[in-house]
Amino acid sequence: MAHPSLSEIPHLLQRISEEARAHFGEGKVANYIPALANVKPNQFGMAIACVDGSTHTVGDAHVPFSLQSITKLFTFVLALRAEGDALWQRVGREPSGAAFNSIVQLETENGIPRNPFINAGALVITDILTSRYVQLDYALLGALRRLADDPELHWNPEVARSEREHADRNMAMAYFMKSHGNFHNDPALVLDNYCAQCATEMTCAQLAQASMFLANDGRDLTLQGQPDEHFLTADQTRRVNALLLTCGAYDAAGDFAYRISLPVKTGVGGGIVAVIPEVGTVAVWSPELDAKGNSVLGAFALERLVQLTGWGYSSV
């Protein structure tokens, strides 16, 4: 299948948006975090940021939404930059096959989470970063502001507070991992950082831009040609994309790999970011979720994008 030209992308996005909107009502907005339950369900936005520097959007692509688990991608990258391969002593690289907030595997696997993108793994990553940064929330925002080239990015304190007040299961995981020696800081402090992290808000356009380095061998386009343009090495970028392909969509990762065949990270705020190596990144948002916690319209839109362009089968 011939890949689309840049001039064709706006038409493709409009077609996908029209088809996706026919699926409103097939999912439900996340309600286990009360602040997210108030989000208007019938919204859909999509953005494609290309390595040539162009960005194409449709629908509600400039409406901020709560990143939630998508931030696990960026904290994982920060930890990988800081720790290198030592990171893998504390977290695994395997798909979990269990719900993102499951505690069962921790007991059978001695407090070592399966991967960085389930909640237990993301808590270990946040614990690692809590040891490195006095104010982790600002360290993360600083990285995201650099990557998105937008100094106004922020996290929502109301969402963070709502999430923190309903974090009993995550707190149980933290204490369980601490009992196995795989948690070094006060769980309450780590949970504060974790909930602030998850409450980060971005638009589809900003998210696509911020994740561009994953499609560009680790290079940050906003610093192109400068000494520190590499946010990750090319080898690290390849490995991050491999983990996104196998572990990025909760316990639906296999289904996403089969249907979409792109590295992705999803979040219960309704967002999904996908990487098309050497082409660009795609961010899609629609808050209605399926039973696994993934955006119904977002998954549909990415699958249609791959079908219409052939990107997924030839670019990874």
Which residues participate in catalysis according to the annotation?
A: 69, 72, 194, 250, 268
CB 28 within 8 A of CB 286: no
Is 185 annotated as belonging to a binding site? no
Ligand-binding annotation for 190, yes or no, is no
Confirm or deny that 38 is annotated as ligand binding: no
The span from the CA of 277 to the CA of 262, in Å, is: 9
On whether 101 is known to bind a ligand per the annotation, the reply is no
E strand or H helix at 46: strand 45-50
Residues 6+ apart with CB under 8 A from 92: 109, 112, 113, 114, 115, 121
Q: Based on DSSP, count helices (H) and strands (E) in the chain, helices before strands.
A: 14, 10
- Residue 268 annotated as binding site: yes
32 is in an annotated binding site: no
To the question of whether residue 58 is assigned a binding role by annotation, the answer is no
Is the alpha carbon torsion for 5, 10, 11, 17 positive or negative? positive
CA separation for the pair 172, 106 (Å, rounded)? 11
Residue type, 221: L
Instruction: Classify 45 as helix, strand or coil.
Output: strand
Q: Rounded to an integer, what is the distance from CA 129 to the centroid of its chain?
A: 17
User: Which residues participate in the annotated binding site?
Assistant: 69, 119, 163, 170, 194, 250, 268
Residues in binding site for substrate = 69, 119, 163, 170, 194, 250, 268
